[in-house]
């Protein structure tokens, strides 16, 4: 049995939308205490805000890419369905490493551990995304819309490889400096944003 992509998209959109919105639950309101300035306390929460912004961008971009990928196919079969479920599993888990990184960003070695966990989640997401792409494009004739030719598919796989290397670098950087690793994740996300923006629209 095959599934129309619009049902998969609807369920996936739900998971993306919830994961991206649940991030806000980890922005802590400092407890009201005598002799403490709220402005100062809020200022100390910068790791939470940074982690929030980066994870929001990351999930947002995966959503855009996921969307575009599913728009190129008419139906998905069972293996694609489960590959998609694996990707959603990683996406829905993102609030956890985000929280972890926010809480431990300035904690020395533990901060590095937290940043490495965050980077590993991104790597897992990137692998799950590539697997989904390979599963979806493996049956060219039956599944693909005509406008996706072999060259495009190959270029995509190449880009995935670069993605893996970058995420591996971010994991390595975590052990030098957790904040630097978070900055790198932010830069990767921004790169993908602008890359998306300048790609010519073939329609």
- List residues near a copy of itself by CB under 8 A: 1-3, 7, 9-11, 13-25, 27, 29, 32, 37-39, 42, 52-53, 56, 60, 63-64, 67-68, 71, 77-79, 81-82, 85, 88-89, 92-96, 99-100, 103-104, 107, 109-110, 113-114, 117, 193, 196-197, 199, 201-203
DSSP category for residue 82: H
**Least distance to a copy of itself from the beta carbon of 110, Å?**
4
**72, 147 in Cβ contact below 8 A?**
yes
Residue closer to a copy of itself by CB (options 165, 194) is 194
Name the residue among 161, 156, 163 with its Cα closest to residue 119. 163
What gap in Å lies between CA 151 and CA 87, rounded to an integer? Answer: 24
What gap in Å lies between CA 104 and CA 44, rounded to an integer? Answer: 13
**Least distance to a copy of itself from the beta carbon of 18, Å?**
4
Q: Please provide the distance, in angstroms rounded to a whole number, between the alpha carbons at the two ends of the chain.
A: 29
Residue closer to a copy of itself by CB (options 83, 166) is 83
Residue closer to a copy of itself by CB (options 89, 161) is 89
**Least distance to a copy of itself from the beta carbon of 117, Å?**
7
**118, 100 in Cβ contact below 8 A?**
yes
**Least distance to a copy of itself from the beta carbon of 185, Å?**
16
**Least distance to a copy of itself from the beta carbon of 85, Å?**
5
How many CB atoms sit inside 10 A of residue 107's CB?
A: 13
């Amino acid at each position: 049995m095959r599934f129309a992509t619009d049902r998969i998209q609807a369920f996936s959109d739900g998971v993306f939308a919830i994961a991206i919105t649940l991030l806000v639950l980890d922005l802590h309101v400092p407890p009201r205490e005598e002799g403490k300035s709220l402005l100062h306390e809020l200022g100390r929460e910068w790791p939470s805000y940074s982690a929030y912004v980066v994870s929001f961008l990351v999930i947002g971009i995966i959503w855009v890419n996921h969307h575009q990928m599913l728009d190129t196919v008419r139906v998905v079969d069972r293996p694609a369905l489960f590959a998609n479920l694996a990707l959603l599993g990683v996406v829905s888990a993102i609030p956890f490493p985000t929280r972890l990184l926010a809480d431990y960003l300035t904690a020395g070695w533990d901060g590095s551990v937290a940043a490495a966990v965050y980077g590993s989640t991104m790597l897992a997401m990137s692998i799950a995304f590539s697997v989904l792409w390979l599963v979806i494009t493996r049956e060219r004739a039956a599944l693909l819309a005509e406008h996706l030719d072999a060259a495009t598919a190959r270029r995509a796989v190449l880009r995935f490889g670069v993605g893996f290397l970058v995420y591996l670098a971010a994991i390595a950087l975590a052990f030098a400096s957790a904040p630097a690793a978070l900055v790198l994740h932010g830069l990767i996300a921004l790169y993908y944003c602008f890359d998306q923006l300048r790609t010519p629209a073939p329609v």
